[in-house]
Structure 1
Amino acid sequence: MKSPNRFALTVWLALIGGVGVTTASSAQKADAAARSAEIAELSRAGKYSEAIPLAQRLLADMERAHGPDHRDVAASLNNLALLYGSQGRDAEAEPLLKRSIALVERLHGAGSPEAAHQLNNLAALYQRQQRYAEAEPLFKRSLAIREKTLGPGHPDVAQSLNNLATHYEKQERHADSEPLFRRALAIYEKVGGPEHPAVATVLNNLGQVAKVGDRFAVAEPLIKRSLAIREKVLGPDHPDVARSLNNLAELYDGRRTRDAEKLFERALAVRERAVGPDHPDTARSMNNLAAFYAETGYPEKALPLAQRLIASGRGELRAVLPVLADAERNQLIPTEPAIDTMLHAIQRGAQSSAASAVNKLAVRLAAGTDRLAELVRRDQDLAAEAEALDKALVAAVSRERSKRDLAAVQRTRARLATISSERPSLQKTLSTEFPDYAALSNPLPLTVKEIQSLLSGDEAMVLLTTTIKESYVIAITRESFDWKPIPRATEGLSQEIAEFRRGLNIADVGDATGKSGLFDLARANRLYKTLLGPVESLVKDKRSLLIVPSGPLTALPFQLLVTAEPSAAIPEKLDGYREAAWLIKRHAVSVLPSVASLKSLRAFARRDHGIKPMTGFGDPLFDPSQSGGDKRAAIKSAARGAVTGAYTDFWRGAGVDRLRLAQALPQLPDTADELNAVAKNLGVAAADIHLGADASETNVKRAPLSDYSIVYFATHGLVAGDVKGLAEPSLALSLPRLPTELDDGLLTASEVAQLKLNAVWVVLSACNTIAGDKPGAEALSGLARSFFYAGARALLVSHWAVDSEAATRLTTATFDRLKSDPKIGRAEALRQAMLFYLGDSASPKNAYPAFWGPFALIGEGAAR
Structure 2
Amino acid sequence: MTSGNRLALMTGLALITNACLGTSSFAQKSDTAALSARISELGRAGKYSEAIPLAQRQVADLEKSSGPVNRDLAGALNNLALLYGNQGQDGDAESLYKRALSILEKTDGLDRVGIAPELNNLAALYERQGRYVEAEPLFKRALAIREKALGQAHPDVGQSLNNLATLYERQGRHADAEPLFKQALAIYQKAAGPDHPAVATLLNNLGQVYKVEGRAGDAEPLIKRSLAIREKALGPDHPDVARSLNNLAELDERVGRPAEAEPLYQRALAIRQRALGPDHPDVATSQNNLASFYQGQKRTIEALPLVQQTIASGRAQLRVALPVLFDAYAWQLVSVEKASDDALNAIQRGTQSSAASAVNKLAVRLAAGTDRLAELVRRDQDLAAEAEALDKAIVSAVSQGAAKRDAAAEQRSRTRLATIATERAGLQKTLAAEFPDFAALSNPLPMTVKEAQSLLSPDEALVLFAVIDSESYVLAMTRDGFAWRRLPLGAEAMSQKVAAFRRGLDLNKIGKGDPSGRAGLFDLTLANELYAALLGPVEALVKDKRGLLVVPSGALTALPFYLLVTEKPPAAIPETFDGYREAAWLLKRQSVSVLPSVASLKALRAFSRKDQGIKPMIGFGDPLFNPAPGGTGDQRAATTPDTKSATRSATSAAYTDFWQGAGVDRAMLAQALPQLPDTADELKAVARDLGVAASDIHLGADASETTVKHAPLADYSIIYFATHGLVAGDVKGLAEPSLALSMPEHPSELDDGLLTSSEVAQLKLNADWVVLSACNTIAGDKPGAEALSGLARSFFYAGARALLVSHWAVSSEAATRLATSTFDRLKADPKMGRTEAVRQAMLGYLNDKSSPRNAYPALWGPFALIGEGAAR
Task: Output the CA distance in 2 between the equivalents of 1:770 and 1:822.
Answer: 26
Return the alpha-carbon distance in structure 1 between the equivalents of residues 519 and 338 of structure 2.
Answer: 47
Distance 1:50 1:700 in 2: 49
Q: Structure 1 residue 594 and structure 2 residue 571: aligned?
A: no
Find the aligned partners of 1:837 and 1:482 in 2 and give their Cα distance.
34
Go from structure 1 to structure 2 and tell me whether the alpha carbon gap of 1:189 and 1:716 turns closer, same or farther (over 3 Å shift). farther
Q: Which residue of 1 aligns with 2:711?
A: 703
Partner of 2:492: 491
Once residues 732 and 44 of structure 1 are traced to their aligned partners in structure 2, the CA distance between those partners, rounded to angstroms, is 56
1:524: how far off? 0.8
Residue of structure 2 in register with 1:277 after alignment: 278
CA distance in 2, matches of 1:216, 1:229: 20
| 1:642 lines up with 2:641 in the alignment | no
Among 805, 812, 823, the residue aligned to 2:831: 823
CA contact 2:648–2:812 (8 Å) conserved in 1: no
How much has 1:560 moved relative to structure 2?
Answer: 0.8
**d(CA) in 1 for partners of 2:122, 2:443:** 34
Q: What is the aligned length?
A: 778
- C-alpha distance 210-14 of structure 1, shift in aligned 2 (>3 A): closer
- Distance (whole Å) between structure 2 residues aligned to residue 627 and residue 494 of structure 1: 50
Q: Structure 1 residues 373, 18: CA separation in 2 closer, same or farther (over 3 Å shift)? A: farther
The one of 843, 850, 867 aligned to 1:859: 867
CA distances 1:129-188 after superposition (whole Å, capped 9, x unpaired): 6559x967x967865665565343221232233244335435533223212211211110
Q: Is the Cα–Cα contact under 8 Å of residues 626 and 636 in structure 2 kept in the other structure?
A: no
Distance 1:666 1:817, change over 3 A: farther
SS in 1 for 2:568: coil
1:8 to 1:851, Cα distance in 2 relative to 1, 3 A? farther
Read off the aligned partner of 1:845 and give its amino acid letter: R
1:101, 1:118 within 8 Å by CA — same for their partners in 2? Answer: no
1:349 aligns with 2:357: no
**Alpha-carbon offset, residue 327 of structure 1:** 0.8
- Alpha-carbon distance between aligned partners in 2 of 1:155 and 1:650, rounded to the nearest angstrom: 46
- Mapped contact 2:303–2:324 kept (Cα < 8 A): yes
C-alpha distance 375-623 of structure 1, shift in aligned 2 (>3 A): closer
Amino acid at match of 1:828: E
> In the TM superposition, what are the counterparts of 1:121-140 in structure 2 within 5 Å?
130-131=132-133
What's the offset of the Cα at 1:17? 13
Q: Report the Cα offset of residue 294 of structure 1.
A: 1.8
Please, which of 514, 517, 520 is the counterpart of residue 520 of structure 2?
A: 517
Are the counterparts in 1 of residues 806 and 862 from structure 2 also a CA contact under 8 Å?
yes
Equivalent AA in structure 2 for residue 603 of structure 1: A
Q: 1:665-676 maps to which residues of 2 (within 5 A)?
A: 668-671=673-676, 673-676=678-681
Does structure 2 conserve the Cα–Cα contact (< 8 Å) formed by 1:617 and 1:695?
yes
Give the distance between the partners of 2:732 and 2:275, measured in 1 at CA: 29
Residue matched to 2:506: 505
1:756 Cα deviation after fit? 4.0
Deviation string 1:197-230 (CA, Å, 9 cap, x unpaired) is 1111111111111122111111111112112211
Q: Is the 8 A contact 2:316 2:346 kept in 1?
A: yes
Residue of structure 2 aligned with 1:534, choices 510, 532, 537 = 537
Q: 1:466-485: per-residue Cα shift (whole Å, max 9, x none)? A: 12232111111223221111
Of the structure 1 ranges 270-279 and 707-716, higher mean CA displacement relative to structure 2 is found in 707-716
* SS at structure 1 position matched to 2:849: coil
Please name the residue that 1:463 is paired with. Answer: 464
* 1:599 CA displacement: 2.5
Distance 2:712 2:339 in 1: 47
- 1:156-305, aligned counterparts within 5 Å? 156-254=156-254, 255-305=256-306
Q: Return closer, same or farther for 1:256/1:783 CA change in 2, 3 Å cut-off.
A: farther
Is the alpha carbon distance of 1:481 and 1:791 closer, same or farther for their aligned partners in structure 2, counting shifts above 3 Å? same
Of the three residues 759, 763, 772, the one matched with 2:771 is 763
Unaligned runs of 5+ in 2: 37-50, 367-371, 389-427
Amino acid at match of 2:811: D
Per-residue CA distance 1:517-560 (angstroms, 9 max, x = gap): 11111111111111100011111111111111122211110011
Secondary structure of 1:253 counterpart: helix
Distance 1:482 1:809 in 2: 38
2:579 maps to: 576
Corresponding residue number in structure 1 for 2:449: 448
For 2:730 and 2:93, locate their aligned partners in 1 and report how far apart those are by CA, in whole Å: 17
Q: Does 1:543 align with 2:546?
A: yes
Query: For residues 434 and 239 of structure 1, do their structure 2 counterparts lie closer, same or farther at Cα, with a shift above 3 Å needed?
Result: same
C-alpha separation between the residues in 2 aligned to 1:598 and 1:532?
A: 20
- How is 1:25-36 mapped onto 2 (pairs within 5 angstroms)? none
Q: Deviations over 1:732-787 (max 9, x none)?
A: 767997765999955546x6566443433211233332232657745547865664
Amino acid at match of 1:492: A
Given that 2:524 and 2:573 are in contact with CA atoms closer than 8 Å, whether structure 1 keeps it comes out as yes
2: CA distance, partners of 1:253 / 1:665: 60
- Pair 1:758–1:7, CA change in 2 (3 A): closer
Change in 2 beyond 3 A, CA 1:434/1:693: farther
The 5 A counterparts of 1:746-761 are: 747-748=756-757, 755-761=763-769
User: SS state of the match for residue 554, structure 1?
Assistant: helix
Q: 1:299 to 1:100 in 2, by over 3 A?
A: same
- Contact in 2 for aligned 1:126/1:135 (Cα 8 Å): no
After TM superposition, the structure 1 stretch with the greater mean CA deviation from structure 2, 312-321 or 678-687, is 678-687
Residue number in structure 1 paired with 2:392: none
One-letter identity of the residue aligned with 1:851: L
> Unaligned 5+ residue runs, structure 1?
63-70, 106-111, 385-424
Deviates more, 1:735-744 or 1:604-613: 735-744
Q: Following TM superposition, by how much is the alpha carbon of 1:670 offset from its aligned partner in structure 2, in angstroms? A: 4.4
Q: Residue 682 of structure 1 corresponds to which residue in structure 2?
A: 687
Q: Which residue of structure 2 lines up, in the alignment, with residue 804 of structure 1?
A: 812
Q: Does the 8 A contact of 1:638 with 1:667 survive in 2?
A: no
Superposition CA RMSD, Å: 5.6
Identity %: 61
> CA, structure 1 residues 444+363, in 2 after alignment: closer, same or farther (shift >3 Å)?
closer
Q: CA deviation at 1:790?
A: 4.8
Partner of 1:403: none
Cα separation, partners in 2 of 1:154 and 1:244, compared to 1, 3 Å: same
The one-letter code of the counterpart of 2:684 is A
Contact 2:249 2:264 in 1 (8 A): yes
Look up the match of 2:408: none
Q: How many angstroms apart in 1 are the aligned matches of 2:483 and 2:223? A: 44
Instruction: Tell me if structure 2 keeps the 8 A contact 1:718–1:729.
Output: yes
Distance 2:215 2:674 in 1: 55
Q: Distance in 1 between matches of 2:630 and 2:310?
A: 56
Matching residue of 2:40: none
Partner Cα distance (1:735, 1:44) in 2? 60
- Residue 236 of structure 1 deviates from its aligned partner by 1.6
Q: Is the 8 A contact 1:619 1:667 kept in 2?
A: no
Which letter maps to 1:338?
A: A
